[in-house]
Amino acid sequence: MKIQVDDKEFELMIEYEQIKKRIRLIGIQLNVDYEGRVPVFIGVLNGSFLFLADLMKEIEIASEVTFIKVSSYEGDSSTGRVKKVIGLELDLRKRDVIIVEDIVDTGITMDHLLTELKQLEPASIAVCSLLVKPQSMQHEIEELDYVAFEIPNDFVVGYGLDYNGLGRNLKDIYRAVAVPSET
């Protein structure tokens, strides 16, 4: 099934039923791994909102949930693109932190995020990402302990992920259809 989002055509890649199954398994694993602790789940806005909501329904241990945003803006020519974590209100010192993301693509965002959050001296830090693009990653993310799907280097939308701000509401995940080169 093909759909149009803004000016791009997309085709079905991962159905919601499959997503739900993977989330159920990750939830079971988290319940075991964090038994007896009270972890803080940190959703990275905007893309993680549906994933985090479905994931939390599978979590049975005592836990807290909060959200942050990574603001991204152009620095000067020496610093390039600068990313900064905003909106964190909880004290993470000595806490077990689980960062919840929709996608780790190049890994640049997660690398920045981990550097900043580690400075707050949590007891532990793990990353839980719905999607990972191993062939695109420029940083090794050792903390990437929970991954629902590894995908190829396609651009994807749906289930929280956007293209030009659109498509986050799609229930399934779609990949961009390659446009044949005109040359």
Ligand X SMILES: O=P(O)(O)OC[C@H]1O[C@H](OP(=O)(O)OP(=O)(O)O)[C@H](O)[C@@H]1O
The residues binding ligand HPA (CB under 6 A) are 103, 105, 155-157, 161-162
What residue number has its CB nearest to ligand HPA? 105
Question: Tokens 């806490």 map to which residue?
Answer: 95
Q: Which of ligand X, ligand HPA, none binds 46 (CB below 5-8 Å, type-dependent)? A: ligand X
Of the two residues 95 and 168, which places its CB atom closer to ligand X in the complex?
A: 168
Q: Which of ligand HPA, ligand X, none binds 72 (CB below 5-8 Å, type-dependent)? A: ligand X
CA distance 58 to 77: 45
Binding site for ligand X (CB under 6 A): 44, 46-47, 70, 72, 101-110, 162
The structure tokens listed for 56 are 């939390």
Q: Which of ligand X, ligand HPA, none binds 149 (CB below 5-8 Å, type-dependent)? A: none
Asked if residues 5 and 40 have their Cβ atoms less than 8 Å apart, the reply is: no
Pairing type for strands 173-176 and 156-157 reads antiparallel
CA distance 38 to 84: 26
Of the two residues 16 and 155, which places its CB atom closer to ligand X in the complex?
A: 155
Q: Which of ligand HPA, ligand X, none binds 156 (CB below 5-8 Å, type-dependent)? A: ligand HPA
Asked if residues 63 and 41 have their Cβ atoms less than 8 Å apart, the reply is: yes
Active site residue 105: yes
- Residue 53 beta carbon to ligand HPA: minimum distance, rounded to whole angstroms: 18
Q: Degrees (nearest 5) of the Cα angle 168, 174, 177?
A: 125
CB count in 10 Å sphere of residue 148: 21
- Residue 54 beta carbon to ligand X: minimum distance, rounded to whole angstroms: 16
Of the two residues 95 and 112, which places its CB atom closer to ligand HPA in the complex?
A: 112
Q: Determine which one of 54, 96, 102, 105 is catalytic.
A: 105
Asked if residues 125 and 111 have their Cβ atoms less than 8 Å apart, the reply is: no
Q: Which residues form the catalytic set? A: 105
